[in-house]
Amino acid sequence: MQDPLLCKRIERVTETTSKEEIEHLVEAIRSSGAIEKSEQVATDYLNKAARILDEFGNRKEVKPLRQIIKMLDKRDY
């Protein structure tokens, strides 16, 4: 996360933090671009994993790993 002030606000969250403050933080996180950035990083790692699996060809052991990559790529939050 690029915003140090937002990071500090997140670090101060405890079980006593008000629902209103949590809602403000969630909105700040959504508008910060951090979610999109993390999704891109995850996609980059999945693509890297797929390229590594390509080195093993069509071996039967690789198939379940490819299925895991596809499942992770399709997940929605």
pLDDT at site 77: 63
- The ranges assigned to domains in the chain are 4-32, 36-74
- Report pLDDT for 48: 98
What pTM did the predictor assign?
0.73
Burial grade of 48 (CB within 10 A; 0-12, 13-18, 19 or more): exposed
Per residue, what are the HEC states of the chain? CCCHHHHHHHHCCCCCCCHHHHHHHHHHHHHHCHHHHHHHHHHHHHHHHHHHHHCCCCCCCHHHHHHHHHHHHHCCC
Q: pLDDT tens, position by position, for the chain (77 residues)?
A: 688 999 999 999 999 999 999 999 999 999 999 999 999 999 999 999 999 999 999 999 999 999 999 999 988 76
pLDDT given for residue 76 in this prediction: 74
In this structure, which amino acid lies at residue 72? L
